[in-house]
Amino acid sequence: MILHNRMGREQLIARINSENFNRKTVSFYRYIRISEPQFFRDELYLALDAISCSGRIYVAHEGINAQMSVPEHHVDNFLKFLDSRTELKHMPLKWAVEDDGKSFLKLKIKVRKKIVADGLEDEVFDVTNVGKHLSPVEFHELSEREDVIVVDMRNNYESEVGHFKNAIRPDVFTFRDEVEMVVEHLQEQKDKKILLYCTGGVRCEKASAWMRHHGFTDVNQLHGGVIAYAQTIKQLGLKSNFIGKNFVFDERMGERITSDVIGKCHTCGAPCDDHINCAWNACHQLFIQCDACQAQMNNCCSDECRHKLEMHPQNNFPAMRSLGKSACSV
């Protein structure tokens, strides 16, 4: 029995465009001991593929981290399956804020050493000694105070299109660099109230434990991340303290939270917050580009890549890695 996708990208796009039903995007994670990750992975694939789910899921001994697209008519079956497994029962789910139903083209489940590539040695600190979980409303109210420090625990390409007002946003590309820079930058403020946030909450679990390990006494984290915050603030009719887009690791590349466009086209500098990957797949760089520059540059990040694409289109093999979609980080 084949437990992985065997269709090419063009076939997958054609398949999803031909679907006569709607889909809902959802993300979830849980740190929980999984004794046999490969066996768990295979059972998960069989169950989710049977109800036409797509998405990207990482399974490890330490837990599960998932971002998925679920057919609306199978949502109940999906929820019943989660509750049927001890490891997944009563799972906190974050449903997408803005959803076109095409967030994922296929189902991909991988066994990994960790559910988030954090680069940290878990043996040297207590990963369960996490910060205080704040509800979206609690985070909203505290983030408006002048005596707190709000820290964006996402990468620079995420925060450049959306972030909380007055948040510290380290200019780094990896989570490992992020946690180390934050600890170093805030060394003299270990007794201050620290508010951490990320996309869905999973990165803050490790980040808060790492900060507590380094002597920070009042570490707090947004439970459910920006996704949960945006949903709650919208439901309550409050003015969002998160402005712009929330970057997401799927085909959408972003959910609009407010109308603010805080990013800039990397080609011309015009206001823009639309991420794309360079069309020359040997590069495939993730960057921001406006519609006018996309047309002029043939969706490429530089003249060099554009010339290569135009001169050698037959050599534009499918990309092996997409910087914007390679990590299931929430």
* Domains within the chain, CATH numbers bracketed: 9-111 (3.30.70.100), 122-232 (3.40.250.10), 263-330 (no CATH)
Distance separating alpha carbons of residues 253 and 291, to the nearest angstrom: 16
Q: Confidence band (pLDDT; 50, 70, 90) for 118?
A: confident
* Mean pLDDT, rounded, of the chain: 92
Residue 6 identity (one-letter amino acid): R
Q: Which pLDDT belongs to residue 285? A: 94
Q: Is the distance from CB of 315 to CB of 307 less than 8 angstroms?
A: no
Which range has the worst mean pLDDT, 104-108, 220-224, 319-323? 319-323
Q: Does residue 264 carry a pLDDT above 90?
A: yes
- Range in 91-105, 118-132, 282-296 the model is least confident about: 118-132
pLDDT higher at 5 or 60: 60
3-state helix, strand, coil in the chain (%, to 5): 35, 20, 45
Mean pLDDT, residues 287-310: 96
Split at pLDDT 50, 70, 90, the class of 317 is low
Closest CA to 61 of 109, 107, 108, 115: 115
Instruction: Write the pLDDT tens digit of every residue in 90-103.
Output: 999 999 988 888 99
pLDDT for the residue numbered 119: 79
Q: Which residues are known to be catalytic?
A: 198
What average pLDDT does range 61-78 have in this prediction? 96
**Predicted pLDDT at 322:** 41
Find out whether 120 and 213 touch, Cβ atoms under 8 Å: no
What would the mean pLDDT of 28-41 be, rounded to a whole number? 95
How many other C-beta atoms can be found within 10 angstroms of the C-beta atom of residue 195? 25
Question: pLDDT tier at 329 (50, 70, 90 boundaries)?
Answer: low
- pTM for the predicted model, two decimal places: 0.86
Transcribe 306-324 into DSSP letters: HHHHHH-GGG-PPPS--TT
| Model confidence at 80: pLDDT above 60 | yes
